[in-house]
Amino acid sequence: MANNDPFIPYLATVQSVVDLTPDVRLFTVELNDPAVRESFTYRPGQFAFVSVFGMGEVPFGITSVAHRDEGLQFAVRRVGTVTNALHEVREGDTVGVRGPFGNGFPLEDYEGKNIFIIGGGIGMAPLRPVISTVLDRRDSYGDLLIINGARTPRDLVFAPEFDVWAQSPRTKVELTVDRGDDNWTGRVALIPDVVRDIKPSPENMIAITCGPPIMIHFTLQALKELGFADRQIVTTLESNMKCGLGKCARCNVGDKYVCKDGPVFDFEQISHLFEEA
């Protein structure tokens, strides 16, 4: 039965653990209670807290889409105590899941528009459900342009999916790295420079970006040079979230709470955050 206390995590069983990069793992979990499973619906861009019991919990953008019914997925980069503990979790283990929280991307508002996805590193994780949704409802959207960047080729998350994405009609995938290796024949360039090089038209296009703040800062500049208006550029923010419910005041950005008013914002709302990055 669904619990009514949003601070109590649901129990979930890990179905699979897959290495995406040397320090990022993809966890697929299934909520144990069938009634909870049924009622746990979520949108691209929403997040949930995943807990390792006795260690703590961390918020992650959900990287699966509810309509595919393939389990709840989180891409976890090993960066601290809880994420290290999560990397020790194996198939069949139990974790906690609290959520879903946040607003998510208003994908209905983007129907009929061209979609430009710009993801850096693990920032691709919350963007993957947008890509999946556009691919699964291909006729509802215009062109899909994806730029995915990472430090090195080995750090490109979701690499096995690039070909699938690129084979979809009216879809282009551009990969770039900061530093190539012996096998890399693709771009070696920073994401904002790739944006400038490709020069997508801002007409009828929504740009959705996620990645390190410095990348977003310079990507924002590149998009503006091309004529994108602030309202056409959307991002999903990370923050020091604790409750996820707008109650602890740990995640405020100006007068907004990332957990409750976001994590998805357009730059009409938050461009001031990146102007001095």
Q: Which is nearer to ligand FES, 138 or 242 (CB)?
A: 242
CA 171 to chain centre: 19
By CB under 6 A, residue 196 contacts ligand FES: no
Instruction: Please tell me the distance from the alpha carbon of residue 57 to that of residue 97, in angstroms, as a whole number.
Output: 9
By CB under 6 A, residue 105 contacts ligand FES: no
By CB under 6 A, residue 58 contacts ligand FES: no
By CB under 6 A, residue 24 contacts ligand FES: no
Contact by Cβ (8 Å): 152, 178:
yes
Instruction: Please tell me the distance from the alpha carbon of residue 64 to that of residue 202, in angstroms, as a whole number.
Output: 28
By CB under 6 A, residue 256 contacts ligand FES: no
Q: Which is nearer to ligand FES, 5 or 109 (CB)?
A: 5
Least Å from the CB of residue 241 to ligand FES: 4
By CB under 6 A, residue 249 contacts ligand FES: yes
Q: Which is nearer to ligand FES, 1 or 249 (CB)?
A: 249
Instruction: Using the rule CB under 6 A, give the single segment among 33-41, 166-174, 189-197, 245-253 that binds ligand FES.
Output: 245-253
By CB under 6 A, residue 96 contacts ligand FES: no
Least Å from the CB of residue 99 to ligand FES: 12
Q: Which of 12, 24, 127, 251 binds ligand FES (CB under 6 A)?
A: 251
By CB under 6 A, residue 172 contacts ligand FES: no
Instruction: Using the rule CB under 6 A, give the single segment among 77-85, 133-141, 246-254, 264-272 that binds ligand FES.
Output: 246-254
Crossing angle of helices 267-275 and 213-225, in 10° steps, is 110
Instruction: Please tell me the distance from the alpha carbon of residue 118 to that of residue 209, in angstroms, as a whole number.
Output: 5
Tokens representing 55? 């260690």
For the chain, the farthest-separated pair of C-alpha atoms sits apart, in whole angstroms, at: 54
Q: Which of 113, 154, 250, 256 binds ligand FES (CB under 6 A)?
A: 250
Instruction: Please tell me the distance from the alpha carbon of residue 26 to that of residue 190, in angstroms, as a whole number.
Output: 25
CA 123 to chain centre: 5
Q: Which is nearer to ligand FES, 58 or 131 (CB)?
A: 58
Site size toward ligand FES, by CB under 6 A: 12
CA 192 to chain centre: 19
Residues in the chain: 277
| Cβ-defined contacts of 159-166 (< 8 Å, 24+) | 159/20, 161/128, 164/135, 165/131, 165/135
Least Å from the CB of residue 43 to ligand FES: 18
By CB under 6 A, residue 248 contacts ligand FES: yes
Q: Which of 259, 261, 265, 270 binds ligand FES (CB under 6 A)?
A: 259
Radius of gyration, alpha carbons of the chain: 18
Crossing angle of helices 191-198 and 213-225, in 10° steps, is 20
Q: Which is nearer to ligand FES, 6 or 71 (CB)?
A: 6
Instruction: Please tell me the distance from the alpha carbon of residue 57 to that of residue 52, in angstroms, as a whole number.
Output: 6
List residues near ligand FES by CB under 6 A.
241-244, 246-251, 257, 259
